[in-house]
Structure 1
Amino acid sequence: MQAPATSSPAPSFTQFQGQDLVRVGGHDNYLLLAPRAGARLVRWVHRGEDILHWPDPADWSQPARVRGGNPLLFPFIARHFVDGAPGAWRDANGAVRALPSHGFARDLPFALTQYDAGSHIAMTLRASDATRAGYPFEFAFEAGYRLLEDGLEATLRTRNTGTQPLPYYAGHHFYFALAHEARGAAVLEMPDADLMRQRADGALDALGAGAASYSLDDARLQDTFHVLRESHTAPHAAPRACILAMPPNAAAPRGRRLAIELDTPALPDAPDAPAAAPWFAVTTWSEHADADFYCVEPWLGLPNAIHHGTGLRWLAPGQEETAVCRLRILA
């Protein structure tokens, strides 16, 4: 992670729903982001079409609760439980600490730390008084986005800036735009995975092997964790990917095929290069049958991992990890 600049980059702003959002990109290929509202990616427009869902109107008094864009999940994903009750976790010393579902990152302002108006942005959240009561660790959590000719690269980077080991498992929550009436004709292709769900008390249920493809109205997808099996390591092999194929619909008049590439690219051969954090699972979810979105979410761990350990990651003092996914528009 680069050292923070002595002064913040000067961003380009666009008015959207009465908000000043940071803009990256050109006329019909661009991003709109809200660094001060959880570093939320609000819009991704590719060749004039919105790839992500965002409601109109949206309640900007509580942006973390808005169903849309890409909320950032950190330090823990989804629900964690103490004695069967959600919203808290127990540390190694037995202290119980309150922490909201999906963590606190989506509720807090990020600093703009890298910016190029035409191509990329990085935003960073650091430990503060607002984070230490629920998560008594020192950290720097960076979210970066880079426009590609055929899509978008999204990077999560976490550094332990403290003196004790840091537990975490972060993730994305992409809300892909899809008219609900087209859901039955939309197909999601998945890499090799084993299915799991979370019980009401936070424990995990194993559901067996996942399928190679699903229609998006398949009940097996709802609130399901697709725990990725180990990737092959053959040179030049295609990356593992989830492929979302939509028929023509109100959100994508020409239809759309979108690949979420999951394998972390090779990092520079340098002593200080951050370690690669492999994606652990992909979660599929939508709010209800009439919702005009479907979520396909790369995660670094599983809910409640701080207690059951499945997908829990640890960073040693000074250690840094990065996780990259690429979203490519295939057609």
Structure 2
Amino acid sequence: MPLLPKQDFQGQPLVRVGDADTFLLLAPQHGGRLVRWVHRGQDLLYWPDAADWSRPAKVRGGNPLLFPFIGRHFADGNPGQWRDGQGTVHTLAQHGFARDLPFDVSAIDAQAAITMTLRDSDATRAGYPFAFAFDAIYRLLPDGLEVTLRTTNTGTQRLPSYPGHHFYFALPHAQRAGTSLTLPGADRMRQQPDGSLGPAEPGETTYQLDDPRLQDTFHVFRNSPAAALAMPGRRIRFELDLPGSAPWHAVTTWSESETSDFYCVEPWVGLPDAIHHGQGLRWIEPGQSESAVCRLRVTA
């Protein structure tokens, strides 16, 4: 294992990448969580002051990694279950297991980048009987951040997956009405209580974040995927249509309540329950890898 630059944060030894003004703090031991992203002295992500580190996967903040499946999946109306091609039903928690398990740091450049890796184990095979290596690669850019989610099939049978992000952006709730989200060429969809997908509705080009239509909503791209979040004092542009990347199927918008001081904008490779309906489901052949790459560009 490479020598890791550590920084204490809330009593936890986190890994630090970057310099004094622009840096990342990550918790590989807690689901590979990106805890802080500081860009030119400003925290872009939300993290609670009194986080419960005994249950870090439940903390609302940072960027939890969603793998192997995002969202809620259902078998015969039962949440947290999925059925494979042979008819066997497996139990798998919402958003998968990656955010609950320790990652290894497999590569690091203390000034610029880190690769964290999760491999299959006894903790993963019961609910997801496949051999894999899942890499989360964070790379600081002069004007933002590039994140690659790379899935490698290390087994002998083809592997289903549709990973994603769960970025908690710092935003005082009083600023939602003054914050806009641009989503050109996307339809709105929601998941029904039984796990099925509701009808697609034509989306707007721009929304204000106090718009109730955004809550727990999937914005399914019709053409080239892209998004931009314009908050007071800064703008974050999501570059999702990148050469060599698996296609991003949707961006999901969500917040816990109207008074939460964060707002989530989440690029997803697939839609919830894609293992059954197929929208965004990816199949990776034995010995092959697939990467989903996004860049977040920050301007004033």
The TM tier, using the shorter chain, reads over 0.9
CA deviation profile, 1:123-143 (whole Å, cap 9, x unmatched): 000111110000000011000
What TM-score, normalized by structure 1, do the two folds share?
A: 0.89
Query: Aligned partner of 2:181: which letter?
Result: L
Q: Describe the SS at the equivalent of 1:141.
A: strand
- 1:84 corresponds to: 77
Give the distance between the partners of 1:219 and 1:193, measured in 2 at CA: 17
The question of 1:117 aligning with 2:86 is answered no
Query: Alpha-carbon deviation of 1:93?
Result: 1.5
Query: Alpha-carbon deviation of 1:11?
Result: 0.8
The question of 1:138 aligning with 2:128 is answered no
Give the distance between the partners of 1:45 and 1:165, measured in 2 at CA: 39
Identity of aligned residues (%): 66
Give the distance between the partners of 2:187 and 2:207, measured in 1 at CA: 14
Query: Alpha-carbon deviation of 1:206?
Result: 1.9
Query: Aligned partner of 1:220: which letter?
Result: R
- 1:303 corresponds to: 272
Which structure 2 residue ranges, 5 or more long, are not aligned? none
Q: How many residues align?
A: 300
The question of 1:50 aligning with 2:38 is answered no
CA deviation profile, 1:69-118 (whole Å, cap 9, x unmatched): 00000000011111212111111122111110000000000110110110
Structural RMSD (CA): 0.9
Q: 1:71 aligns with which of 64, 73, 78?
A: 64
The question of 1:318 aligning with 2:287 is answered yes
Query: Aligned partner of 1:297: which letter?
Result: E
Q: 1:228 aligns with which of 212, 221, 224?
A: 221
Matches within 5 A, 1:12-27: 12-27=5-20
Query: Aligned partner of 1:256: which letter?
Result: R
The question of 1:181 aligning with 2:184 is answered no
Q: Describe the SS at the equivalent of 1:198.
A: coil
Query: Aligned partner of 1:261: which letter?
Result: E
Moved over 3 A (4+): none
CA deviation profile, 1:232-275 (whole Å, cap 9, x unmatched): xxxxxxxx53111112xxxxxxx2111111112x35xxxxxxxx
- 2:226 corresponds to: 241
Query: Alpha-carbon deviation of 1:191?
Result: 2.2
The question of 1:104 aligning with 2:106 is answered no
- 2:237 corresponds to: 259
Q: Describe the SS at the equivalent of 2:295.
A: strand
Give the distance between the partners of 2:184 and 2:153, measured in 1 at CA: 31
What TM-score, normalized by structure 2, do the two folds share?
A: 0.98
Query: Alpha-carbon deviation of 1:168?
Result: 0.6
